Amino acid sequence: MQRGGGVIMHITSLPGPFGIGVMGEEAVAFAKQLRDQGMKYWQVLPFTYPGMGNSPYQSFSAFAGNWLLLDPRRLMKMGLLTGEDVVSAEYNVNKWRIDYDYLRGQREQLLRTAYSRISDRMRGEVCDFAKKNKWADEVALYQTIKNANGQKAWWQWEDEALKDHDAKALAKLRGSDEYYFHAFVQYLFIKEWTEVKAAVNECGISIIGDMPIYVSCDSADVWAARDMFKMASAGRRKKLDSDYAKALKEDEKARPPKETAYVFEKVAGVPPDYFSAEGQLWGNPIYDWDKMKEDGYSWWMDRIEESYKLYDYLRIDHFRAFCSYWEVDSDADTAKEGEWVKGPGLEFFKKVDKKFGGRERLIAEDLGEWTPDLEEFLANTGIPGMRIMEFAFNPGDNSTYLPHNYDSNCIAFTGTHDNNTLLGWLWDSSEEVRRCCLEYCGFQGDNWGEGGTRSPSCRAIIRTLWMSHANVVMIPVQDMLGYGADTRMNIPGTADGNWVVRFTSEDLASVDNGFYKDLNRIYFR
């Protein structure tokens, strides 16, 4: 990647009148602001539809776009909505927080109105889109059946043929209005983002996307291709019932096995780390890498190919799983009970090279616990990893996260969406850690707690990051604004209150663009 600077802000956090950021004029305006600051990169979170806890990392599909990001104004220009419809979609109760519960119902109704007005020509385009994109067909089928089953998980569906992805049973659904509606939504998403991304790229800004390593248990991905995952055997299901029966004899209030334990053999997580003393039990199904290897990891190649259409560069979340991953019994209570299992390794990336001609567009999210095999594996891939300044300042420790230790082939951050904001981190750190950081960054004075876009302490830390050897340096928009912990995007290991932060046009207009333009000029970014 070319030496440069950039900002992390998800589309959902953009300003605008619709209760959530959308793929519209505000996105292009932000790209123009980045251009004026001399930036080269804009990093977003996964475009997938948010699932449990409103997380984009827990979606019903690894491929489907988040239709909450569709811009009603663009639909009006397409003749699918009226001006009155667009006004009805406005929601300004709180400009700084997203109300997902309200938006889900309101936006679906709006999109169904738009669908009712499509022309025969557009219906034909939607049909062609679904035929050419297997993932879109699977998503439309999955959503159609799920709606008919009261949103139950796929393994709870009443029709055994549909549950088992029977081709003849599915063929009967493809001509239905419900199927076409869900295909239409994905058609719109790709159409809108393609237009917006072209405008962003014209500003000289490259989009860095984000791909979750795992998929959700209740997803179109698992339903349509469950042979790619470690599913529970009949023997395991029988053992769970037997163990539970024995437990009931000793305690009539014994906890029954988790429902998903009857479906999946193993699930994903990470051991105890910086973020959580209990580890994180994500609960996503584990890939059967041996099975995937048989057809050259074709599902993964398709997934990367579709991501390359959306983004200029692709950060793979929890990249270390390609080396080794933390596997937990699906009935476990915490992630502490897991073990490391070998991943597909470099062989996987040889397939990437063959398919895409190289790995130049990939970024490895290599944070978390290190194992002896990981450093060598990352070096052998040649893919740039990540460095986080907030992890660096343990007094007396010459940490690899300290900027003077960065090599050029890395992406360096003050923090990511999973970290506290820079100002919030300064306030929450011990006096010893804070003093170590401020001294390292050449900050003098006693006003380190001052926030805002001209926060002297935040600026000192950001300037230090910009001075590093790292080819690419990134800051969350919260750090650019100098905002505190109340604007943090996510607290790992917590279920509620995440992914809801937004910013107003006034917030973004308050940024001193000249400061960042000078940084990028001085440090040749």
Q: Is 193 helix (H, G, I), strand (E, B) or coil?
A: helix
Residue 322 three-state SS: helix
Q: Does an H or E element contain 359, and which?
A: none
* Residue 365 designated active-site: yes
Helix (H) or strand (E) holding 2: none
**Of 24, 20, 42, nearest to 100 (Cα)?**
20
Residue 79 makes CB contacts below 8 A (sequence gap 6+) with 117
Distance CA 266, CA 284 (A): 9
Structure tokens at 348: 């996987």
Say which amino acid occupies 141: L
Q: Is 96 helix (H, G, I), strand (E, B) or coil?
A: coil
DSSP string, 9-61: --GGGS--SSSS--SSHHHHHHHHHHHHTT--EEE----BPP-GGG-TTS-S-
| 479 catalytic per annotation | no
Question: In angstroms, rounded to a whole number, what is the distance separating the alpha carbons of residues 117 and 440?
Answer: 61
Which of 365, 366, 390, 507 does the annotation list as catalytic?
365
**Among 145, 135, 118, which Cα is nearest to 47's?**
135
* Distance of alpha carbon 57 from alpha carbon 54, whole angstroms: 9
Cα 35 from Cα 512, distance rounded (Å): 13
Angstrom distance (rounded) from CA 238 to CA 252:
20
Closest CA to 417 of 395, 386, 384: 386
- H/E stretch holding 363 reads strand 362-364
**Residue keyed to tokens 């969350």:** 476
Extended beta strands in 174-312, E state: 206-211, 266-270, 280-285
The one catalytic residue among 317, 327, 331, 390: 317
CB atoms within 10 A of CB 332: 17
Distances (CA, A) of 251 to 161, 254, 257, 309, 334: 38, 5, 14, 55, 21
Token pair listed for 397: 């420790």
Is residue 363 a contact partner of residue 314, using CB atoms and an 8 Å limit? yes
CA dist., res. 120 & res. 147, Å (int): 25
Determine the angle formed by the axes of helices 456-466 and 431-440, rounding to 10 degrees.
Answer: 60
Residue of 366, 418, 479, 507 with catalytic role: 418
Active site residues: 317, 365, 418
